[in-house]
Amino acid sequence: MPASTSSENSFERSIPTVVETVLQPSRFFVASNFKLKWTHEVETIHWEIFRGRALDRTQTRQTQTSRSWSVRGQDDDEPWISIKWHPPTRMVYVVRSIRCHSQEANGKSGLRSPRPVIRRNRGLVWAISLDDIRSLPELEEELSTLLTLSVVGTHRLPITSLETPMPEYSLGLFSYCRSHRGTPEASKDAADWLGRLEQIADDSEEAARVLEFALRSSSPGDVEQLARDISAFANVAELLRIMFLQVSLTPYTDFTSKVWQFTDAAVAAGRLSREQRLDFYCWLLRLVARHLSSFDLVQFHHRGANYPDALLMEELAERISHQIVAWPAAFLDATTDSEATRRNKRLRRRAIRQTWLIRRENAGRVVPRQPTTPGESLRVLPSPIETPGPIETPGHARVQPAGDDARRIFDQPGILDPSSPIVGCVLRASISDLEKENEQRELGLGLFLDRPLGIFKQPGEPDATLLFVHECFSPDLAARRREALQQLAPCPEFSIREPGVAWHCAQPRRRPGVVSLQDIQLSPHTFRIVRTARATLREFWRSYDSPNEQVKKLAEKLRAECVLILPCPQRAEELLFLDEKHRCRLRARMERSGGYRTRSGREYLASGFTLIDVRDEEGASIPGLVGSPLRPTRPEFNSHQ
């Protein structure tokens, strides 16, 4: 027998051991009112993959026989989570299901007379080709990552079902962690779950998820004990920020109120200082303000059909109002302050100013009493949580709620009230800060999101390519807000230069369920793109590189000089790399020939990019580099080129 065949057989014989390791009960949290069972079987089920989605018995007649390891409820026809291995194709699938309002054929009449039912709908989280896996530890790490994404969702802005957490996770009833306990059973209480922090101290994102779920699963009376129990080595301030960078707030629960309770208890326990708590609040307000400046509550939230960021801002604004009154020195400059302290106080005042403006712009807007979206309303949440049921209105958007189903947002009196002497003083100081250009720019700054690398995907196909985040500035929004601030105090004249790049595409680029830079054209304000977020730039250059040494040197230079990576308005398959002076230094064409390859919840262009125009800082062409490739940095992908 050839050595390669023997090695391959040994690898495949070990797959069940790896799967059983990552699915062992000790890696899970299961609420005491759930009775789950772990099963392993060879099953034949209705199965077909269509555009990245797993079809079930209501959508296909094809079947497939696989070895399946599952976590399922006692009476559920579909497992909550399942790993399926199909040896003939060397494919491993990670699958989950969500309990939803659905429809199925009624008797012999078939689709002509569907009837409403409640059942668990199957969803493919990821498909792994064993040809891309080089070792068993690598397979274990990959499966652990995908099982985590199965539970928590693939993105904090849940537009599609795949991006959204399992309802049982959001309600603190069910979770997964790559670390395991010393005992074979699943965790049952929040304190036990939080104890896993010591095992994953090297992974800040996973540690933040552990803290998040510990808060979700705890009762309000137990939150203070969590703050006392959290490991002394844990950087609580950092974990809180990371937690909110990756958390999904839908459905909106008591999670945020427990976070505020936790921060107060952490201050009392000495795990967090007063300054750190305040800076966390203000940082979060600035982040939410940028989001609501671009994705407003009318055009992008179906007139309030899904407004968790607004609810979050209201809760924080109320707490900040109390902080201003109780501790004005934290916001107002003193003669003895260092430059770093003055900058920190200016950032706090910025959070107050931006929050006051957004509350003023949206005060009294009519929104649903319970935040929901068309997709979220189809989900059946576990008892005793009530769901509003499927939205039946045309276009699947609740345009104008009324009656008992309605409420008005930002109508609470006394929050950031400028008639209060202390609050008014802080707001006027924040207006004086507008002498600085970066504060002027913040008045009209918003965040727009895009997934340009998924341009070759079919409509409705899941897209897990790199998410691009762009900071954008609207001169007319900044001018309108300046006029509003003039009512409180004289505003400095704007000296800001109109920044950024105007971006407009005549052809439709928006795909169903996928964020697009073309959303910028839907805004009632004129936005110009100032820069691509540093985290996006770092992740792009970490993901793609070139075997050409000259291109490697150029890429190193561009990492420092380029501030924008934008899709070409005329040709969707091209990316433009612009420097600080908004000169195009690089044009790269995305190659579709190799399709997409996946790893750790991220999709990559397998064939990468081809450089089609390269220019130096003087604008002169570098023809010798044209035609050079940029390839995924993952070696397992390049080995198949």
- Lowest-confidence pick of 153-157, 251-255, 337-341, 456-460: 153-157
Q: What percent of the chain lies above the pLDDT cut of 90?
A: 64
Domain closes at, from 184, 213, 239: 184
Model pLDDT, residue 306: 67
* Within a domain: 94: yes
**CA–CA gap between residue 622 and residue 641 (Å, rounded):** 26
At residue 177, the pLDDT reads: 94
Burial track 483-496 (b if 16+ CB lie within 10 A, e otherwise): eebeeeeebeeeeb
Instruction: Give the pLDDT band (50/70/90) at residue 69.
Output: very high
Residue 384's pLDDT band, with cuts at 50, 70 and 90, is low
Overall average pLDDT of the 465-469 stretch: 95
User: Can you list the alpha helix ranges (DSSP code H) found in 468-585?
Assistant: 475-485, 534-543, 549-561
Which element (helix H / strand E) includes 587? strand 584-590
Contact 526, 479 (CB under 8 A): no
Say which residue the tokens 């900071």 belong to: 471
Determine the pLDDT at residue 393: 40
Asked if residue 467 lies in contact with residue 452, where contact means CB atoms within 8 angstroms, the answer is no
Is 174 contained in some domain? yes
Residue 345 or 155, more confident? 345
pLDDT band at 113 (very low <50, low <70, confident <90, very high): low
**Average pLDDT of the residues in 209-231:** 94
Q: 24: how many CB neighbours lie within 10 A of its CB? A: 15
Residue 229 lies in a domain: no
Question: Is position 222 within any domain?
Answer: no
**Average pLDDT of 394-415?**
66
For residues 349-359, one letter each, b for 16 or more C-beta atoms within 10 angstroms of the residue's C-beta and e for the rest, the string is: bbbbbbbbbbb
Q: pLDDT tens-digit profile of 536-571?
A: 999 999 999 888 888 888 888 888 888 999 999 999
Last residue of a domain, one of 161, 184, 207: 184
Q: Is pLDDT above 70 for 464?
A: yes
pLDDT of 278 reads 98
At 398 the pLDDT is 41
What is the rounded distance in angstroms from the CA atom of residue 80 to the CA atom of residue 96?
A: 5
- Asked whether the beta carbons of 303 and 409 are under 8 A apart, the reply is no
Q: How confident is the model at residue 638 (pLDDT cuts 50, 70, 90)?
A: low
Q: Quick one: pLDDT at residue 478?
A: 94
422-455 pLDDT, tens per residue?
999 999 999 999 999 999 999 999 999 999 999 9
The residue out of 140, 157, 184 marking a domain boundary is: 184
| Phi then psi dihedrals of residue 104, to 5 deg | -145, 165
More confident residue, 6 or 75: 75
For 73-86, the pLDDT digits (tens) are: 988 889 999 999 99
Q: What is the tens place of the pLDDT at every residue in 184-204?
A: 899 999 999 999 988 887 889
- DSSP for 134-161 reads -SHHHHHHHHHHHHHHHHH-S-SS--ST
Has residue 396 got a pLDDT over 60?
no
Q: Alpha-carbon distance 14 to 136, whole Å?
A: 8
Whether residue 571 contacts residue 119, with contact meaning beta carbons closer than 8 Å, is answered with no
35 within a domain of the structure (yes/no): yes
Q: Number of structural domains, the chain?
A: 2
DSSP string, 362-381: HTT-EEESS---HHHHTB-P
Does residue 334 fall inside a structural domain?
A: no
pLDDT score recorded for residue 161 = 82
Q: Which two tokens stand for residue 578?
A: 């612009």
Distance of alpha carbon 451 from alpha carbon 593, whole angstroms? 19
Rg of the Cα trace of the chain?
A: 26
Q: What is the largest CA-CA distance in the chain?
A: 86
Domain-embedded: residue 513? yes
The predicted pLDDT at position 498 comes to: 66
Residues paired with residue 631 on neighbouring β-strands, in sequence order: 545
Q: Which of 439-453, 458-472, 486-500, 606-620 has the lowest mean pLDDT?
A: 486-500
Spatial CA neighbour of 94 closest among 51, 144, 60: 144
Rounded to whole angstroms, the Cα distance separating 48 from 57 reads 9
> Does the residue 238 lie in any domain?
no
- Closest to 295 measured CA to CA, from 513, 569, 511, 522: 522
Looking at the predicted structure, is the pLDDT value of residue 399 above 60? no
Q: What does the DSSP 8-state code read for residue 113?
A: S
- Give the pair of three-digit tokens for residue 165: 């957490």
Range of the domain at 612: 439-638
**What average pLDDT does this structure show over 100-125?**
76
Q: What is the pLDDT of residues 257-313, one digit of tens each?
A: 999 999 999 999 999 999 999 999 999 999 999 999 998 888 887 656 668 899 999
**Residue 164: burial class (beta carbons within 10 Å; 0-12, 13-18, 19+):** buried
Q: Mean pLDDT, to the nearest integer, of 61-88? A: 93
Give the Cα separation of 615 and 52 in Å (integer): 38
Sole residue written with tokens 């995907």: 457
Name residues whose C-beta falls within 8 Å of residue 367's C-beta, 6 or more positions apart in sequence: 297, 303, 304, 305, 307, 310, 401, 406, 407, 408, 409
208: left (phi over 0), alpha (psi -120 to 50) or beta: alpha
